Homo-oligomer: A and B are copies of this chain.
Amino acid sequence: MSKQELPVVSANGAGAGTVARCCPTLLAAPLDEDQADELAPVFKALGDPVRLRLLSMIASRAGGEVCVCDLTPAFALSQPTISHHLKLLRQAGLIASERRGTWVYYRLLPAATDRLAAVLTRPATDPAPAS
How many copies of this protein are present in the complex? 2
Contacts of A43 in B (CB 8 A): 43-44, 46-47, 52
**Chain A window 16-51, contacts with chain B (Cβ cutoff 8 Å), 1 for yes, 0 for no:** 100000000011111101001101110111111111
Complex-state Cα separation, A116 to B46, whole angstroms = 11
Question: Which of under 10, 10 to 19, 20 to 34, or 35 or more describes the interface residues of A?
Answer: 35 or more
Whether A27 lies near B108 (C-beta < 8 A) is yes
Complex-state Cα separation, A51 to B30, whole angstroms = 12
> Chain A residues in contact with chain B, CB under 8 A?
8, 11-16, 26-31, 33, 36-37, 39-41, 43-53, 55-57, 59-64, 74, 107-110, 113-114, 116-117, 120-122, 126-131
